[in-house]
Amino acid sequence: MANGRTAAITGSTGGIGTAIARGLAEDGWSLVLVNRSRTKALAQKEELQRDFPTIRIQTVQTDLMDLESIKTSCDEIAQITDHIDALYCVAGVLTSQRTLSAQGHESHYAVNVLAPYALIRNLAPLLTRAESDEHGMVVTMSSSAINRPKLDTSSLSDPASIGGLMGAYAHTKLAMTAMCVQMAPELEESGVLIRAIDPGPTKTSMTSGGDGMPIVLRWLVPLLFADASTQAAKVIKAADPEGLDKRTGVFVSSGRIKPLPSSIAEAPERAKLMDTIASAYASS
């Protein structure tokens, strides 16, 4: 039965995104599936609509490697829904290949950092809760990998090496987590909470088949990593605005709020990062 709430999900065609979309559909959420592959998204919509006929499911195409495409798709989302209760920024990149976005940013920075920033900025009017007691929610996908690197704002757009799990991927997940903390006060003014949630090690194409995962770790995935549906349920729970003491601007891992890594614990470092992100976005 539809519950009257709407979630927009990027990367709903991926492993964790698929499981989050299904978990939300089971709870009666209407869905806006935001993906680059129209074919995969339409197949997903058909399957979900068959299993959950009472909820509304819509698809919007976007390429998160292109800030212009993101803006266009956000306009499209505003045409098809007048509110979003939860925005799940699930899409992410982990690769050993260097690829540049339409605006010239390396792909990890473009998809893992700039895309969520652009989505939040453009969809903020739909998330706003000016006349309601309920909170809107923004969820981004963080990672345990953020505990290793130091924040290096100057190299995000053009890293010296891409370097697997602990390279550009970890640096951009760290930056994205810092970004969430820094955006929280502004969002909270309009009744929107934001949480950077680590889904935990999950069996998906990113970890099992992708070229960014070190080969040794790939062998361990079937043994040590959990199913996407198990991890998605934890993400959905951690995204409940009423849970986790209604806290915002937090990093959540294993269902608990965890301390921020030391290199993003200080506000001046995060503010410097935000200037860099905002300027990359503004010049697109």
Ligand X SMILES: NC(=O)c1ccc[n+]([C@@H]2O[C@H](COP(=O)([O-])OP(=O)(O)OC[C@H]3O[C@@H](n4cnc5c(N)ncnc54)[C@H](OP(=O)(O)O)[C@@H]3O)[C@@H](O)[C@H]2O)c1
- Rounded (10°) angle between helices 267-282 and 115-127: 90
Subset of residues 159 to 198 that bind ligand X, contact rule: CB under 6 A: 198
Please say which residue, 67 or 94, places its beta carbon nearer to ligand X: 94
- The residue from 199, 212, 241, 249 that contacts ligand X (CB under 6 A) is 199
Q: Work out how close the CB of 281 gets to ligand X at its nearest, in angstroms, rounded to a whole number.
A: 16
Whether the Cβ atoms of residue 39 and residue 64 lie closer than 8 Å to each other: no
Selected from 14, 23, 116, 241, the binder of ligand X by CB under 6 A is 14
Distances (CA, A) of 174 to 22, 80, 143: 28, 33, 8
Give me the least distance between CB of 19 and ligand X, in Å please.
8
Q: Is 70 one of the binding residues for ligand X (CB under 6 A)? A: no
Q: Which is nearer to ligand X, 44 or 189 (CB)?
A: 44
- Interface pattern 137-156 for ligand X (x via CB under 6 A): ----x-x-------------
The phi and psi torsions of 8 (rounded to 5 degrees) equal -105, 135
Tell me whether residue 15 or residue 136 sits nearer to ligand X (CB atom): 15
Q: Of the candidates 11, 116, 149, 164, which one interacts with ligand X according to CB under 6 A? A: 11
Least separation in angstroms between residue 192's CB and ligand X is: 20
Indicate which single residue of 40, 148, 218, 258 sits in contact with ligand X (rule: CB under 6 A): 40
DSSP assignment string, 9-71: EETTTSHHHHHHHHHHHHTT-EEEEEES-HHHHHHHHHHHHHH-TTS-EEEEE--TT-HHHHH
Q: Are 13 and 40 within 8 A, CB to CB?
A: yes
- Using CB under 6 A, which residues numbered 77 to 136 contact ligand X? 90-94, 111
Please report, for residues 47, 50, 106, 146, 162, the alpha-carbon distance to residue 137 in angstroms, rounded to integers and kept in the order given: 26, 27, 28, 22, 31
Choice from 8, 16, 151, 274 touching ligand X (CB under 6 A): 16
Cβ distance to ligand X smaller for residue 46 or 266: 46
Kind of pairing, strands 6-10 and 86-89? parallel
Q: What are the structure tokens assigned to 111, written together?
A: 């998809």
Considering only residues 205 to 244 of the shown chain, the ones binding ligand X according to CB under 6 A are 205-207
The CB-of-240 to ligand X minimum distance in angstroms stands at 19
Angstrom distances, CA of residue 15 to CA of 35, 57, 181, 241, 260: 13, 19, 26, 24, 26
> First-to-last CA distance in the chain?
41
Among 28, 201, 255, 261, binds ligand X (CB under 6 A): 201
Nearer to ligand X, 43 or 267 (CB): 43
Is residue 64 close enough to count as binding ligand X by CB under 6 A?
A: yes
- Amino acid, single-letter form, for residue 209: G
Per-residue b/e over 90-119, b at no fewer than 16 CB within 10 Å?
Answer: bbbbbbbeeeebebebbbbbbbbbbbbbbb
Stretch that binds ligand X, among 30-38, 44-52, 180-188, 272-280 (CB under 6 A): 30-38
Contact positions vs ligand X (CB under 6 A): 11, 13-17, 35-37, 40, 63-65, 90-94, 111, 141, 143, 198-199, 201-202, 204-207
